């Protein structure tokens, strides 16, 4: 199962942690893993390449991804990051609604200083 944790700071989405494998199908043919990976990586590209917002991020070979934006960024950048990450959260929750045996999405508040 894939576990996704969406990070919130002052009611804004500011990051995510995704780990695991869906197990829906065999390796390289798993549509749930592919969908989650594509969404999560696209949002990271949007944050870093399009918004140029500072992030702490890591992608590990074993199927783990961690992304956290700098919560000390400008309000405008944090609003834009919230829009991107919030869209990711909606997409993941939509996948979860259809494949809840393979994906779990939760939310967690993060501290003032990250």
Successive 10-residue mean pLDDT values, the chain, 114 residues: 96 96 88 95 96 92 90 96 98 97 96 62
Q: Is residue 13 a part of any domain in this protein?
A: yes
Residue 2 pLDDT:
95
Name the domain count of the chain: 1
* Statement: the pTM of the whole predicted model exceeds 0.85: yes
Instruction: Answer for the pair 54, 48: CB distance below 8 angstroms, yes or no.
Output: no
Give CA–CA dist 16/39, Å, rounded: 12
Q: Which residue range(s) make up the domain with 90?
A: 2-105
Q: Is residue 114 a part of any domain in this protein?
A: no
Residue 113 pLDDT:
54
Q: Is residue 110 a part of any domain in this protein?
A: no
Give CA–CA dist 108/22, Å, rounded: 21
Give CA–CA dist 43/88, Å, rounded: 7
Q: Is residue 26 a part of any domain in this protein?
A: yes
Residue 31 pLDDT:
95
CATH number of residue 41's parent domain: 3.30.70.1490
Instruction: Answer for the pair 71, 9: CB distance below 8 angstroms, yes or no.
Output: yes
Q: Is residue 23 a part of any domain in this protein?
A: yes
Q: Is residue 113 a part of any domain in this protein?
A: no
Give CA–CA dist 37/39, Å, rounded: 6
Residue 112 pLDDT:
64
First to last CA, the chain: 28
Task: For residue range 3-36, list pLDDT tens digits in order.
Answer: 999 999 999 999 999 999 999 998 788 999 999 9
Residue 100 pLDDT:
95
The two three-digit tokens of residue 53, written as one number: 């917002």
Q: Is residue 20 a part of any domain in this protein?
A: yes
């Amino acid at each position: 199962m894939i576990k996704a944790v969406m990070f919130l700071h002052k009611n804004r989405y500011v990051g995510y942690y995704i780990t695991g494998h869906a197990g829906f199908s065999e390796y390289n043919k798993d549509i749930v893993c592919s969908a989650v990976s594509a969404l999560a990586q696209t949002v990271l590209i949007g944050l870093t390449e399009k918004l140029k917002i500072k992030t702490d991020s890591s992608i590990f070979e074993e199927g783990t991804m961690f992304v956290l934006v700098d919560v000390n960024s400008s309000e405008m950048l944090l609003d834009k990051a919230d829009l991107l990450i919030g869209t990711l959260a909606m997409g993941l929750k939509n996948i979860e609604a259809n494949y809840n045996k393979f994906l779990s999405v939760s939310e967690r508040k993060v501290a003032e200083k990250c």
